[in-house]
Each structure stands twice: as C-alpha cells, then as structure tokens.
Amino acid sequence: MLLSFLFLFLLLGFLPLASQQSFNWAKDIVVGKDEVQDNIFTIGGNVLIEGKIKKSVVALGGTIVISGEVQESVVGIGSSITLKSSATIKQDVVSLGGSLNKEPGCVVGGDTVYFKSSEIGPKLLKGEFMKGIFSFSLIPFILIFKLISIFIWFLLAFAVAAIFPRQISFASAQIRKSFWPIFGTGFLVIIIFAGLVILSALLSLLIIGIPILLTLILVGIIIKIFGRVVLFYFFGESLARAFGSQKPSTIWSVMLGLLFVSILSFIPLLGFLFTFCLSIIGWGVVVRTKFGTTDNWFRRK
C-alpha cells in the first residue's frame, strides 16, 4: 500500500500536466453533473466535482468539494476536503496537513488517510505517521523523506522549467553532443568545490570564512537545482520522443523526467549510484554551458 501511495502521488500528480484541461495553477475547477474528466491537478485552486472523474483528483492547497464520483483516489496536501453524502470515491482519500469532512452516506472504497498539520510532526517523530494505514507497523523514515524530497523537487522543477525553458533545452542538447567532456568537467568541479567548502569551513573559525561558506552553499544549491532540472528535461524529452511525441513541451518533459529519475532513485544501491552520476553530469553541464547560455564556456576565443 505504501508503494501504491508513492505511485499515486507521482503518476497521478505529475502526469496530468500533459493535459492543459486537467492542470491549473490557482484557478477554480468545476465539473458539472453531466461532465466527465480524466484527471484533476491543481495548485492553490478550488475544486468542485459534481460529475465524474475517470482517474484521480490531486490538489496542493485550496479546497476540494465532491458530490459526484471519482473512480480512483483523492489526494489533498494542505487542502480542505469535503465529501458530500452523494460522493463516491472508488479508491483512497488522502489528506495531509489540511482538513477532511465526510458527510454521512459518502462512499470510500479504499483507505482514508487523514493527518492534520499539527499531528504530522509528533507522529513522524514517534514513527506513527503511517502506522496502521498502509498495513505496516512502522514505515522507514527514508521513504518519507524521499516523498518529501520528490514533492520539493516537483515545485522547484516546475518553476525553473517555466522561467528558463530555452536555457534548459540548450543545456540538455549539449549532454548528447559532449557527454564525456561534461562528465569530466562535473567531476573536477565537484572536487574543487568540496575543497573550497572545507577551506571556508576552517576559515569560519576566524569569522572571515563564514560569508564565503554561505556564498558557496548558495552557489552550490543553485547549480544543483539547475543541473538536475536539465537532466529531468533530458530524460523526459527522450522518453516522450520514444513514445512518439515529436515536440514535447519543456514543462511536460521535465515532469516526466522527474518521474523517471524518482522511480530509479528508489532502487537500492543502483539508485544511489544513479543519483551520484546525475550529480556529476548536472554540475558539469551547468558549468560547461554557463547555465545553458554557451556550448563551451572554457573555449578560447
């Protein structure tokens, strides 16, 4: 059941981005009594379902009010969920950090997962966050942290892909053209960067190194985020083209790549090695292409 929740969050949360009708940012979504839609995914919007949803409803923030039918699951993160007496949910209802109101007569075919924001922290510390819900007495903390990490990466990737689509596309193309130079660059840069961090940490004992260390941390975070989003696009575009899509959008490619990378990262040992290689390539492509603005920053002019 834990894995089903993971794939519910990934597949049903990310894949709806492929359809503009099922994805909205801070907009209200209304499905009338005689209407049918495939998926609903919204960030900050209000959802009213009186008709039928063939798959799932996923919302980050906002409200979800259902009086119709959802054939799969309803997931709300920080959302207010209301199931009217006529509502029918064929699978699970998940509410994390929000509120859940189930009127008498509503039908939920699967599990009901409900944690208020005030409950998540204490229960997580006690190891009871998902106790009894997914048929496990104890859920490994690493899986919980991975889910949180995936969610954060989703928000970051969406923002970066929306702001820098051209640079991401250009940098991704350079991976195919100059893979080994990029890999070598990344390996060297990571070693040099680690040395600078250690040196600045030592200098922090003399106070002067504190601003240097903070600057290095900020630069490292920016490089890591941009490089990882480039790799999400690289894998996502490759997969989309393999399945026949000739011109996949930047955001759709990035989300598909995030899904692919996230699934592989869960594989023991192989996932760690895969993620480590991604870090090297990510740093290399960012530095070599100067954030997707040139094919080789180190070329002599």
Name the β-bridge partners of 48.
30, 65
Same domain, 8 and 131: yes
Name the β-bridge partners of 69.
52, 88
| Pair 47, 29: CB distance under 8 Å | yes
The predicted pLDDT at position 105 comes to 92
The predicted pLDDT at position 142 comes to 56
pLDDT surpasses 80 at 87: yes
> Which of the four pLDDT bands, split at 50, 70 and 90, describes residue 179?
very high
> Which of the four pLDDT bands, split at 50, 70 and 90, describes residue 250?
confident
d(CA 15, CA 5): 15
In a domain, 300, yes or no: no
Q: How many domains does the structure of the chain reveal?
A: 2
Listed residues 110, 138, 166: the one ending a domain? 138
Which whole-number Å values give the CA distances from 181 to 19, 224, 234, 278, in the listed order?
37, 18, 17, 14
Q: In what order do the strands lie in the sheet with 46-49?
A: 29-31, 46-49, 63-66, 80-83, 99-102
pLDDT surpasses 70 at 85: yes
Same domain, 100 and 153: no
> Which of the four pLDDT bands, split at 50, 70 and 90, describes residue 116?
low
The predicted pLDDT at position 144 comes to 66
Same domain, 157 and 277: yes
Read off the pLDDT of residues 195-245 as tens digits, 9 standing for 90 and up: 988 888 888 777 676 788 888 889 999 999 999 999 999 999 888 888 777
Same domain, 173 and 277: yes
In a domain, 92, yes or no: yes
d(CA 256, CA 232): 7
> Which of the four pLDDT bands, split at 50, 70 and 90, describes residue 293?
very high
Which whole-number Å values give the CA distances from 183 to 191, 234, 239, in the listed order?
13, 15, 22
Q: Give pairs for 40-49: CB < 8 Å, separation 24+.
A: 40/16, 41/12, 41/13, 41/16, 41/17, 49/87
Same domain, 235 and 197: yes
Read off φ and ψ for residue 61, nearest 5 degrees: 80, -175
The predicted pLDDT at position 20 comes to 37
Same domain, 209 and 133: no
The predicted pLDDT at position 111 comes to 82
Query: Domain limits at 258?
Result: 147-289
Amino acid at 66: I
Same domain, 98 and 129: yes
Same domain, 27 and 132: yes
Listed residues 107, 138, 169: the one ending a domain? 138
In a domain, 299, yes or no: no
Span of 26-30, 249-253, 277-281 with lowest mean pLDDT:
26-30
Residues 8-36, mean pLDDT to the nearest whole number: 57
Amino acid at 34: D
Mean pLDDT in the chain?
79
In a domain, 132, yes or no: yes
pTM assigned to the model: 0.55
Same domain, 8 and 45: yes
In a domain, 191, yes or no: yes
In a domain, 30, yes or no: yes
276/144: higher pLDDT: 276
CA-wise closest residue to 67 among 32, 20, 118:
32
Percent of the chain having pLDDT more than 70? 79
Residues 114-142, mean pLDDT to the nearest whole number: 47
123/287: higher pLDDT: 287
The predicted pLDDT at position 106 comes to 94
In a domain, 7, yes or no: yes
The predicted pLDDT at position 152 comes to 87
Same domain, 266 and 153: yes
Structure tokens at 218: 């900020």
Same domain, 128 and 170: no
Read off the pLDDT of residues 154-167 as tens digits, 9 standing for 90 and up: 888 988 888 899 99
Residues 272-284, mean pLDDT to the nearest whole number: 91
Same domain, 157 and 122: no
> Which of the four pLDDT bands, split at 50, 70 and 90, describes residue 3?
very low
Listed residues 138, 169, 192: the one ending a domain? 138
| Cβ neighbours of residue 263 closer than 8 Å, sequence gap 6 or more | 10
In a domain, 60, yes or no: yes
| Pair 91, 12: CB distance under 8 Å | no
Structure tokens at 20: 């503009």
129/82: higher pLDDT: 82
